[in-house]
Amino acid sequence: MTNLLEVENLSKRFGSVQANHEISLTVKPGEIVALLGENGAGKSTLVKAVIGLVKPDSGVIRVKGEELPYGDTAEAIARGIGMVHQHFQLVPVMSVTENLVLGDEPTKFGFIQMQKAKRETAELSKRYGLAIDPDAIIEDLPVGMAQRVEILKALRRDVSLLILDEPTAVLTPQETDELLEVLRNLAKKGVGILFITHKLREVMALADRVVVLRNGKLAGSTTPKESSESQLAQLMVGREVVLHVEKGPGNPTGAALEVRELEVLDDRKLEAVKGLSLQVNAGEILGIAGVEGNGQRELVEAICGMRNRRKGTVRIAGKEVPNLKPHEVHAAGVSHIPEDRERHGLVASYSIADNLVLNRFDQEPFAKGWIRNLDAVASNGEELVERYDIRTPSASAPASSLSGGNKQKTVVARELSQDLPVVVASQPTRGVDVGSIEFIHKQLISARDRGAAVLLVSAELDEILSLSDRVAVLYGGKIVATFDSKFANRDEIGRLMAGSQGAHS
C-alpha cells in the first residue's frame, strides 16, 4: 500500500530554537499514528508544516506520492489533508454552517447558497454520526460540540488524512471515548489519522503506530503492542520517569479551608458557583474534578480574592475571611497557583528573582519601609532557582525567557516556599512537560505532608485521581459528589462530570 503521507528529513528553526530537526514520518491509509512528545518537542510545528501553516526550512512532504509545496494551506487542503486544531479554528460569532463552508462556499451567481450549505451540514453530520445543529452559533456550544464542528469541517473537504492536535485536552472522559470511537470508524473507512497527544493512555488505546519526538528530533517509533506506557514515557523524556505518583497516606487534621454556601458570578454576570460548600483539612489534598467551565475558575478566584463573592463564607484556619484583595488573602494564609500563569502567575518582563517575591516584595526581608532590599531578593531568587530546579542561566533573566514548565516551577516555588496553611492549585501542570509535572506533583504532596490543606483543581482526571486524598466532582457550579480517592471510580466520576446523577457519598 502506498503511503498517504511521507515526511522526509523535515527541519524548521524558530530563532534560536530548532523546533524540528530532520524528522521523517509516514502515514498509510486507514492507519492511526500517534505523535507523542512533551510540550515543545516539536509535534505541533511538524503537523503545521504538513498543513502549510508553517514553512519548513528544508525537507520533503509528499501526499499520495506527490510533493507538497511549502506553506500553502489551500493546496494542502485540496490534496485531502484536514486538521483539527488544539485551539479551535472556528469563528465564534458565526453559525456552524458558516464555519463549515468558510473558504469553500457553495455559490450560485456569486452568492452563497446558505440553504444548500445547511442541508449539506445536516447530511454530513448524519453520515458520520456526529449530531450537530447547523444553525447553532459556535460561541454558544460546549467544547465537545465545537470540536465536532472542527472534525466535520475537516471531513467536509473529503479528507484522506486527518490530523488532530491534542484533541482530547478539553474533553470529559466520555467525550474522549466518543471521539476515539469516531476516529476508529474513520480509519475503517480508509482515512489516515495522525494525532498528537501527550496522554499515554490514549496512545495505547487507539494508535496502530507511535512516533515519539523529543527536543525536535525523532526519538523513536514503535507500536502499542511492542511497548508499554513507561517505555513510551521514557522515550518522550529521555530518562526514566515515575508515572505513578508516590505518596504515603495522608494525615488530615482539622479543617483549614472551609467554604460555605458560596455563590459567585462569572464574567457574563451569570451564576457560575451556585451555593457550593466544601472543606479541606490540613494535611490533605482535595481534588476538584470537572469539565472546564463548571465554575472551577470562579470558585478559585472567589477564594483567592480575585473575584467578589455574592454570598457565602470562606474560613481559613477557622477565621472568617470577607471579600478581600488577593494580597490580603495571601496574608491570611493562602498560596495560589493560578490557572493562567502568563496572566496571573508571572510578570513576563520582570526577572525571575522579582517574580519569586511578587507576593511579598514589600515585606521584610525583601523591603525595609519604602526601600527594596535587592540583595535579599537576589539571594532568595538564587536559592529558589536551585531548590525548585528552575532551568535558567540566571535568576536575573526575565521570566519570559523560561519554558512553560520552568515558568510554572517559578510560580510553584514562590507559592510553596512560604509554608502557608492553605494551597490553592489551579491546573498546576497545564502545558507543562512530563519532567516538570513529576516535580510539581512531588511539591504538592510535600506541601500536604507538612500539614497544608491543598485544594487542587485540574481538568486532567488522572492528575486528580493520583494526587488527591479526596475527590469532589464539580458540575454546574455545585459539588455533586465527594469520594475518598481510594474508592473513586474513574467511570463514575466521568459520568458525574458529564452531569448524570450519581450517589452522593
Partner 1 sequence: MRFRLSYFVIVSSILLFAYFYSQNSIVTSSVVFTAIPFALPLALAAMVGVMCERTGIVNIGIEGTMLVSAFTAFFLGAILKNISAGLFIGIMTGVLVGLLLSVMTITWKMDQIIAGVIINIMAAGITSFLYRQNYRIPSTFLPIDIPVIGDIPVIGPIVSNHGPITYFGIIFIFGLWVALYKTPWGLRSRSVGEHPSSADTAGVSVVRLRYINVTIAGAVGGLAGSYLALEAVGIFERGFTAGKGFTALAIMIFGRWNPLGAFAAALFFGLSQAVTNQLMIDEVVQIPQQFVTMLPYVLTILILAISAGKVRPPAAEGIPYEKEKV
**323 is an interface residue for partner 1 by CB under 8 A:** no
Nearer to partner 1, 18 or 230 (CB): 18
**15 is an interface residue for partner 1 by CB under 8 A:** no
CB-based contact 24:61 (threshold 8 Å) = no
Gyration radius of the chain over CA positions: 24
C-alpha cell at 137: 452559533
Nearest Cα neighbor of 352 from 399, 287, 284 is 399
In the complex, minimum distance from the CB of residue 103 to partner 1, in angstroms, rounded to a whole number: 3
SS3 of 27, please?
strand
Interface with partner 1 by CB under 8 A: which range of 95-103, 390-398, 419-427, 447-455? 95-103
**347 is an interface residue for partner 1 by CB under 8 A:** no
Task: By CB under 8 A, name the one of 110, 248, 322, 369 that touches partner 1.
Answer: 110
**152 is an interface residue for partner 1 by CB under 8 A:** no
Nearer to partner 1, 67 or 104 (CB): 104
- State the Cα–Cα distance between residues 2 and 17, nearest whole angstrom: 34
**Owner of C-alpha cell 457550593:** 276
Nearer to partner 1, 76 or 474 (CB): 76
**Cα–chain-centroid distance for residue 199?**
11
Identify the helix (H) or strand (E) that includes residue 454.
Answer: strand 453-457
**158 is an interface residue for partner 1 by CB under 8 A:** no
Count of residues touching partner 1 (by CB under 8 A): 30
**151 is an interface residue for partner 1 by CB under 8 A:** no
- State the Cα–Cα distance between residues 498 and 174, nearest whole angstrom: 8
In the complex, minimum distance from the CB of residue 23 to partner 1, in angstroms, rounded to a whole number: 17
**190 is an interface residue for partner 1 by CB under 8 A:** no
C-alpha cell at 212: 515519539
In the complex, minimum distance from the CB of residue 89 to partner 1, in angstroms, rounded to a whole number: 4
Interface with partner 1 by CB under 8 A: which range of 56-64, 102-110, 256-264, 389-397? 102-110
Interface with partner 1 by CB under 8 A: which range of 101-109, 127-135, 287-295, 495-503? 101-109
Task: By CB under 8 A, name the one of 3, 11, 57, 94 that touches partner 1.
Answer: 94
Identify the helix (H) or strand (E) that includes residue 182.
Answer: helix 173-188
Nearest Cα neighbor of 476 from 227, 293, 221 is 293
Nearer to partner 1, 49 or 474 (CB): 49
Nearer to partner 1, 169 or 273 (CB): 169
Name the DSSP letter for residue 342.
I
Nearer to partner 1, 81 or 289 (CB): 81
**153 is an interface residue for partner 1 by CB under 8 A:** yes
DSSP letters along 204-267, please? Answer: HHH-SEEEEEETTEEEEEE-GGG--HHHHHHHHHSS----SPP-------SEEEEEEEEEEE-T
- State the Cα–Cα distance between residues 2 and 182, nearest whole angstrom: 24
Question: Length of the chain in residues, anyone?
Answer: 505
C-alpha cell at 139: 460561541
**367 is an interface residue for partner 1 by CB under 8 A:** no
- State the Cα–Cα distance between residues 456 and 165, nearest whole angstrom: 26
Where b means 16+ CB within 10 Å and e means fewer, 194-203 reads bbbbbbbebb
Nearer to partner 1, 138 or 179 (CB): 138
In the complex, minimum distance from the CB of residue 81 to partner 1, in angstroms, rounded to a whole number: 11
Task: By CB under 8 A, name the one of 10, 27, 34, 54 that touches partner 1.
Answer: 54
Nearer to partner 1, 55 or 368 (CB): 55
Residues between 20 and 49 that touch partner 1 (CB under 8 A):
48
Nearest Cα neighbor of 325 from 307, 350, 300, 346 is 307
In the complex, minimum distance from the CB of residue 294 to partner 1, in angstroms, rounded to a whole number: 25
In the complex, minimum distance from the CB of residue 10 to partner 1, in angstroms, rounded to a whole number: 15
**282 is an interface residue for partner 1 by CB under 8 A:** no
CB-based contact 243:434 (threshold 8 Å) = no
Q: Are strands 81-84 and 66-67 parallel, antiparallel or unpaired?
A: unpaired
Identify the helix (H) or strand (E) that includes residue 13.
Answer: strand 5-14
In the complex, minimum distance from the CB of residue 106 to partner 1, in angstroms, rounded to a whole number: 9
**115 is an interface residue for partner 1 by CB under 8 A:** no
Interface with partner 1 by CB under 8 A: which range of 50-58, 271-279, 295-303, 429-437? 50-58
Nearer to partner 1, 83 or 237 (CB): 83
Task: By CB under 8 A, name the one of 27, 34, 50, 83 that touches partner 1.
Answer: 83
Name the DSSP letter for residue 485.
G
**120 is an interface residue for partner 1 by CB under 8 A:** no
Task: By CB under 8 A, name the one of 69, 92, 129, 238 that touches partner 1.
Answer: 92
User: CB-based contacts of 423: which residues, under 8 Å, 6+ apart?
Assistant: 334, 335, 337, 415, 416, 444, 447, 452, 453, 454, 455
In the complex, minimum distance from the CB of residue 69 to partner 1, in angstroms, rounded to a whole number: 13
C-alpha cell at 232: 513510551
Interface with partner 1 by CB under 8 A: which range of 72-80, 206-214, 373-381, 404-412? 72-80
Q: Count each helix (H run) and each strand (E run) in the chain, helices first.
A: 16, 24
C-alpha cell at 64: 499520495
Interface with partner 1 by CB under 8 A: which range of 70-78, 261-269, 290-298, 344-352? 70-78
Interacting residue ranges for partner 1, rule: CB under 8 A: 14, 48, 51, 53-54, 73-74, 77-78, 83, 85, 87, 89-94, 98-99, 101-105, 107, 110-112, 153
